Amino acid sequence: MTNNENYQRIWKTVLQIPSGKVASYGQVADLAGLPGRARLVGRALGYAPPALAVPWYRVLRSDRSIAFAAGSDHATTQRQLLLSEGVMVKNNRVAKQYCWQPDLAELLFSLEF
DNA sequence: TAATTGACCCTTT
DNA sequence: CAAAGGGCCAATT
């Protein structure tokens, strides 16, 4: 992995997602300062060290569906984790109301101004 | 070195 | 909403 710095930023951004809310890969990429690099977010989550406790399950596709194949072990685990936070999952997809809308103040704080 | 492969996204049909 | 076509980029083959 040659871009460890990008991974760090992605992990930090995902850690900003509050419990009970979800964000898309593209959204995380944008907030992390990596526009158009949603795929990198998915890769970063796969490489995420367990020690950081990154809430990877709060990251969904842009259509708010779970990124893994429906019925797969990963998808089932993710659905379970989301349900435990009160996020209802219907047909491998969640409702709009759970989308995280980051606060400007929150963003400025994470950017360490 | 070149081709393939993804935990993806956007626009158009 | 689903499907197709084009982009993106690091890691793997």
Cα–Cα distance, A73 to A40 (Å, whole number): 22
Per the structure, the residue whose CA is closest to nucleotide B6 at C1' is A39
pTM: 0.91
Q: Is the CB of A98 under 7 A from strand B?
A: no
User: Between the CA of A46 and the C1' of B5, what is the distance in angstroms?
Assistant: 15
Which of the four pLDDT bands, split at 50, 70 and 90, describes residue A64?
A: very high
Contact A58, A65 (CB under 8 A): no
Residues 8-37 in A having a C-beta less than 7 A from any atom of strand B are 24-26, 29
Q: Which nucleotide is the nearest neighbour of A69, by CA and C1'?
A: B7
Q: Is the CB of A38 under 7 A from strand B?
A: yes
Query: What angle, rounded to 10 degrees, do the helices at A4-15 and A38-47 form?
Result: 90
User: Between the CA of A41 and the C1' of B10, what is the distance in angstroms?
Assistant: 17
- Average pLDDT of chain A is 91
Per the structure, the residue whose CA is closest to nucleotide B7 at C1' is A42
Contact A18, A100 (CB under 8 A): yes
Residue A112 has pLDDT above 60, yes or no: no
Residue A57 has pLDDT above 60, yes or no: yes
Contact A55, A13 (CB under 8 A): no
Contact A70, A92 (CB under 8 A): yes
